[in-house]
Chain A
Amino acid sequence: MCGIFGVTGDSSTTELLIKGLKRMEYRGYDSSGICLVNGKKLIRKRAVGPLSNLEPLVEDLPNSECGIAHTRWATHGAPTKENAHPHFSRDSKIAVVHNGIIENEVELRNKIKLIDEGIAFESETDSELVAHLLSIEFENSGIDIKKAKEEEILSCWKLVLDKLEGSFALAVVINGRNDFILFARKFAPLIISHDGERGILASDVSCVVGLTEEVFYLNEGDWGILTNSEVQIFNVDGEFVEVEAKKLEWKLGEAELGGYPTFMLKEIYEQPRVVRDCLRGRLSRDKIKGFSIPFNPRLLRIVGCGTAYNAGLLARYYIEQLSKIPVILDHAHEFRYGAPSGPKSLVIGISQSGETADTLAAIEAAQERGYPTLGIVNVESSTIARNVDSLLGIRAGPEIGVASTKAFTGQVLGGLLVAMKLGQLSKTFHREDLSYFDRHARMLPTSMERMLNDQNIKTKLWEAQQYFVDKNHAFFLGRNTSYPIALEGALKLKEISYIHAEGYAGGELKHGPLALVEEGTPIVVIASEGSSHKKLLGNAREVASRGAKVIFITHQEDDLADSHADLVIKVPRTHDLLQPLLYNIICQLLSLNIAEERGCNVDRPRNLAKSVTVE
């Protein structure tokens, strides 16, 4: 989604703003803009398209000590220069950047028209209204904004915020006032840092890594003022709140390419490390530790979107198989339409960013219904992470590529840890089972490293991608624990290569999808375990006999697949529960190769944004 960034108290504001935008570009890249407070007027530069279109426009801007910036992913109004942030008030004296959606937009627009009949709205955005509203409040209060005291400005700012419904992270600068930025957040992420001389605000932590050591995390509805010397934070009731600065969880370097051509490739290769970090201190031969499950549930509800939903589906298989506790899985945005599931339910929310608006809303709905919640989240300072009763951080580090890769691996391991812990609680997963699992889990990172460097696999992937490059449709089939991998494989392929791809459970094939199989349709079959594997081989034969090109992903000890496919890609053997993770890496690499062959930007696929902070 959109990203906002602001700096005050630094002489190289422009440089910092661009640096911040670069780090946030993955959040949105339809258009971008900056605004500097300098002398008599606000200097604003905006451009449509990638950040590189903005950079030449800001090269020779005069020095400024205060400014805001924005990178946009269009929700209200097309990606045009007029719709790009920052937005100005009627008198061009107030500039605002906004992430979120103002839901009472129409009402506010009418209200403004009542006050100022002749007003010409510059853009089609809801964000612009905030600037007008603030300008009206200043007028009503009769203060001279150039000389006004902080308290006066803050009281006007609060009056504006009280009128807004919906979600927002906002930053505002005012002409002639290079000493502060106004801010507010509600259901959209915003973090603040201040080292006594320089204040920074940003949509997410990865933007400020390396610029600061400590950050302030705001609560819903918090607002305030960031000046050159300090930050003042107030809550929704207007009371001053003391917020404690927290150490940054990420190191600089983690959010950089560091020699890799794309973030996606970098993040795929980071997965052995993610496994090590995610299991560290949590898995041992006799117990699962390091996180708590609020109580012993009778029913689980899992919510997530996109890749997190697919991870949730795999978690569902794990939990039901290991603990025999039934699981209901929902897309987070559909959760609220279901019936309450009775007492003793635990709701698990899965989200990489921890800011996913749909998942956050589902967690809140669950809490309203009185269910305990558990979050499987990557960004441990995020809203979801702070709101859930119990947190399982997946420790994947910053994920910048829009298509999620390493976070999926972490989320699946998170789900597996929960499943094993529940299995131990319900005495269906025994100490010996855990000890056997543990031995294999220790070997998993090395197995990943082996396959990531396997020349034979690289060659096979290259052959496989030839089946796809000039095709418009593809299918992924799985059964049992490989079914979620089929869904995730299809999702990755459509996200980054724009090939229409669908994942199906093998058993579903004859109930419809088989009608779509033609000569040359590429179909990826992902092996499963035990009896379901033989059924999958049957499915592979069914599609092959209708002319499909079958790519079978399986493990080294499986000899059955060889005669059932045009191409077989074999990965190292590991524990049954972990095997899907290795298959998934093959799907990730396959999608990446196909997308690159088709000339797509894998880190920034069209129309998509990294953390979806609007519903």
Chain B
Amino acid sequence: MQAIILAGGRGKRLGGLTDSRSKVMLPLAGKPMLEWLLHELEETKIKDVIIVHNYAGERILTHFGSGRNFNLNITYSKQQSDRGTVGSLITGLSLVEHDDRVLILNGDNMVDSKSINSLLKIKGDGLLVSEHNTPQNFGVIKLKGSTVKSITEKPDKDQIRSRIVSTGVWLLSRGVIDKIKLDFEEGQTELSTSISKQIKDGLKIETVRTENWHDVDHPWDLNKLNRYLLKRTQRNISKDAEIADNSTIDGDVYIGDGTIIHAGCVIQGPVHIGENCEIGPLAVITGSTSISSGCRIGPYTRIRSSLIMGEVQIDSNCSIHHSIIGPATSLKSNVEVDAASVDKIVRNTHYHIRRLGLVTGEACMLEQGVICAPGTMLGSQVYVSRRIQLEGEHETGSRVIGGT
């Protein structure tokens, strides 16, 4: 059986983080999100994967190639333009070889192999479902026994009758897909609409529940998924890493090749530190933190529960909590981030984030002594001059040089 992974979207709500890569290529716990998903697929009987890409697709090709290094056979299909879920699905279907059924997944979701395997046990058509706190952002499913009675795509809040939502992981047979294609040619670009129609005509879709499904929509979802994936980290310190004798490394900590941990550092797992990083001296890195390859963390700097992407440079005596720092961002000395609970309203939906610090896009530069209020969000290439008290949102390319 072949699997189609839809990975064409950008992930606009992640702001500057997706300037040069799509959401699926954001590094979590040391690997792009899509790589985590492929590792799960590796544990199933599926060996052939079709990746439908569009936005920044070259990056996906460069990273995964023919799939050989991931024990999968990967082929690619470029989505022609923005034609909705079905559009990209149909792009991918052109590469399916006479298979009776196809597994369909979203590249920007995380789901474990156990759930996929139980879905694959179903004889006919199937769907993986899960409970969610904000069902209004998904296809809400009404069940009859274990089969789908109806799907309502992104319903109004007051019309929600169920917290069960579609995870977007479908197992569909050729006949169902052919009908979706027909509907698409008639202008129907939503998968759930076409499926709903088929259900009315008597189609049975068996559901399987999962509790291990993670969706990433907003930046703070990244921290959450990072924390979840870091639980899988096992203590593994590369022989090619240089670790100072008097540093303390506790718990499940991964340290990659060529990384240097200077004297007096304290690292408490779960922590992932990629290749060729330089940490310390006397830096403190604690719980649920990922630091991607090529980062430099200066002396006396403290980092907790944060996602630090590639080639980030954080100078001395900074304090970073519950933050997401985009690739190639530079924080000069004494930058301080406060983390607290934050309320955000995005497209009429209210989000209460238990803890959030700073979120930056790519290649930002924060000069000495900048203090960031909880929930500060920056686009890419934002420049912030010395000792600014930073808060709110600042778009890509902006320069913050006065008070905010």
Which residues on A are within 8 Å of B, measured CB to CB? Answer: 251-253, 256, 258-260, 265-266, 269-270, 273, 276, 280-281, 284, 439, 442-443, 445-447, 449-450, 452-454, 572
Given contacts A259-B61, A260-B61, A281-B276, contact A443 B328 (CB under 8 A): yes
Q: How far apart sit A59 and B395, CA to CA, in the bound complex (Å)?
A: 60
Pick the most buried of A256, A270, A284, A439: most chain B CB atoms within 10 A of its CB: A439
Which residues of the other chain, A, contact B380 by a CB distance below 8 angstroms?
450
Check if A453 sits within 8 Å of B20, measured CB to CB.
Answer: yes
Shortest 10 CB-CB contacts between residues of A and residues of B: A258-B65, A446-B328, A259-B76, A259-B61, A449-B20, A443-B328, A453-B20, A269-B58, A450-B20, A253-B65
When A280-B276, A450-B19, A450-B362 are in contact, do A266 and B313 touch as well, CB less than 8 Å?
no
A446 touches B66 (CB 8 A): no
B65: A residues at CB distance < 8 A: 253, 256, 258-259
**With A281-B258, A442-B328, A453-B59 in contact, do A258 and B64 touch (Cβ < 8 Å)?**
yes
Show 16 residue pairs from A and B whose CB-CB distance is below 8 angstroms, ordered by the A residue. A251-B69, A252-B68, A258-B62, A258-B65, A259-B75, A276-B293, A280-B258, A281-B258, A442-B313, A443-B330, A445-B294, A446-B363, A449-B59, A453-B20, A453-B21, A572-B381
Q: Are B294 and A439 in contact (CB under 8 A)?
A: no
B160 beta carbon closer than 8 Å to chain A: no
**Among candidates B56, B276, B310, residue contacting A446 with C-beta atoms closer than 8 Å:** B310
Residues of A within 8 A of B66 (CB): 253, 256, 258-259
Most B CB within 10 A of own CB, among A251, A281, A446, A453: A446
From B21, B61, B74, B294, give the contact of A442 (CB < 8 A).
B294
Residue of B74, B278, B294 most packed against chain A (CB within 10 A): B294
Provide the bound-state CA to CA distance between A453 and B18, in Å: 10
A449 to B381, CA, bound (A): 13
Specify which chain B residues have a CB less than 8 angstroms from the CB of A276 in the assembled complex. 276, 293-294
Which residues of A lie under 8 Å from residue B381 when comparing CB positions?
Answer: 572
Does B311 have its Cβ within 8 Å of any Cβ on chain A? yes
The interface bits of chain B over 301-313 (1 if a CB of A lies within 8 angstroms of the residue's CB, else 0) are 0000000001101
Question: B69 contacts which of A253, A260, A273, A443 (Cβ < 8 Å)?
Answer: A253
On whether the beta carbons of A266 and B296 are closer than 8 Å, the reply is: no
For residue B327, CB closer than 8 A to chain A, the reply is: yes
In the complex the two chains form, what is the Cα distance from A284 to B294 in whole Å?
11
Distance in Å: Cβ of A422 to nearest Cβ of chain B: 24
With both chains docked as a complex, state the minimum distance between the C-beta of B138 and any C-beta of chain A, in angstroms.
28
Pick from A273, A439, A453, A454: contact of B313, CB under 8 Å:
A439
Q: Mark B252-295, 1 if CB is under 8 A from A, else 0.
A: 00000010000000000000000010100000000000000110
CA distance A273 to B296 in the complex (A): 18
Question: A443-B363, A447-B363 in contact; A453/B327 too (CB < 8 A)?
Answer: no
Chain B residues within CB distance 8 Å of chain A: 19-21, 56, 58-62, 64-66, 68-69, 74-76, 258, 276, 278, 293-294, 296, 310-311, 313, 327-328, 330, 362-363, 380-381
Contact of A259 among B74, B276, B294 (CB under 8 A): B74
Residues of B near A452 (CB, < 8 A) are: 20, 58
Bound together, the chains give a CA A442 to CA B313 distance in angstroms of 8
Residues of B within 8 A of A273 (CB): 62
Contacting B311 at CB < 8 Å: which of A258, A270, A281, A445? A445
Whether the pair B330, A269 counts as a contact (CB closer than 8 A) is no
In the complex the two chains form, what is the Cα distance from A259 to B49 in whole Å?
A: 12
Given A259-B61, A280-B276, A442–B311 Cβ distance below 8 Å?
Answer: yes
How far is it, in angstroms, between the C-alpha of A216 and the C-alpha of B22 when the chains are bound?
43
In the complex, which residue of chain B has the Cβ closest to the Cβ of A455?
Answer: B55
The chain A residue with its CB closest to the CB of B75 is A259
Most chain A beta carbons < 10 A, residue from B258, B276, B293: B276
B320 to chain A, nearest CB (A): 18
Give the residue of B62, B74, B311 whose beta carbon is less than 8 angstroms from that of A269.
B62
A529 CB to nearest B CB, Å: 20
Interfacial chain A residues near B327, Cβ < 8 Å: 446, 449
Chain A: minimal CB distance from B338 (Å) = 26
Write the nearest CB–CB distance from A200 to chain B, whole angstroms. Answer: 20
A256 to B380, CA, bound (A): 33
Point out the residues of chain B lying under 8 angstroms from A442, CB to CB: 294, 296, 311, 313, 328
Query: Which residues does chain A contribute within 8 Å of B68, judged by CB atoms?
Result: 252-253, 256
> With the chains together, A572 CA to B396 CA distance in Å?
13
A269 / chain B contacts, CB cutoff of 8 Å: 58-59, 61-62
Cβ–Cβ < 8 Å partners of A453 in chain B: 19-21, 56, 58-59
CA distance A115 to B32 in the complex (A): 69
A450 touches B330 (CB 8 A): no
For residue A450, which residues in chain B have a CB less than 8 angstroms away from its CB? 19-20, 362-363, 380
User: Which residues of the partner chain A approach B294 to less than 8 Å between Cβ atoms?
Assistant: 276, 442, 445
The interface residues of chain A lying within 8 Å CB-to-CB of B74 are: 259
Contacts of A447 on B, CB cut-off 8 Å?
328, 363
New A-B contacts (6) at CB < 8 Å, excluding given A265-B58, A452-B20: A251-B69, A253-B69, A258-B64, A281-B258, A443-B328, A453-B21
B376 to chain A, nearest CB (A): 21
